[in-house]
Amino acid sequence: MILYVDSSVILRRVLGQKGALTGLDEFEGVVASALAEVECLRTLDRLRVLDRVDERQVGAWREGVFGLLRGAEVFDVTRVVLHRAAQPMATTLGTLDAIHLSTALLWRETGSDELAFGTHDRALGAAARASGLAVLGI
């Protein structure tokens, strides 16, 4: 089985937060959107500026984000993904979450392996379940 991970999964692991999704190496592969890199790095920059986190710590977290993404199959945010994200969905979602879900659904449509959806976001998890995906992390 392949696991799609959104930014919440990456950040919770990198920041060492409670309840982080474990066992990523037990999956045949990990899939993510290129959007995850932007979201994660913007979050780390906000922590650096607003919470005055030491730059060395932020550097280590950034390294963790890049390490996780290096081990994943990362899909670009293409016009096809954006078109899919703009379509009506089973539940209400914001733009970035719709892009994550659309990326996973498009991967599932073209992939031959089973796909699980990893998120710590309840609304995104509900939308993924409503779209027929097994959800981990919530």
Mean pLDDT in order along the chain per 10 residues (138 residues):
97 97 94 98 95 94 98 97 96 97 95 89 97 96
Using a 10 angstrom Cβ sphere, with 0-12 exposed, 13-18 middle and 19 or more buried, the burial of residue 37 is: middle
125 phi/psi in degrees, rounded to 5: -60, -40
pLDDT value at residue 112: 67
* Helix or strand holding residue 106 (H, E): helix 95-110
Contacts 24+ apart (CB under 8 A), 52-59: none
Quickly name the fold that domain 2-136 has: Rossmann fold (3.40.50)
- State the CB neighbour count (10 A cutoff) for residue 28: 9
Domains of the chain by residue range: 2-136
The answer, as to whether pTM is greater than 0.85, is: yes
Q: Which amino acid is at 116?
A: A
Beta pairing class for 2-5 and 29-33: parallel
Tokens of 110: 């073209």
Given the structure tokens 């209400």, which residue do they identify?
92
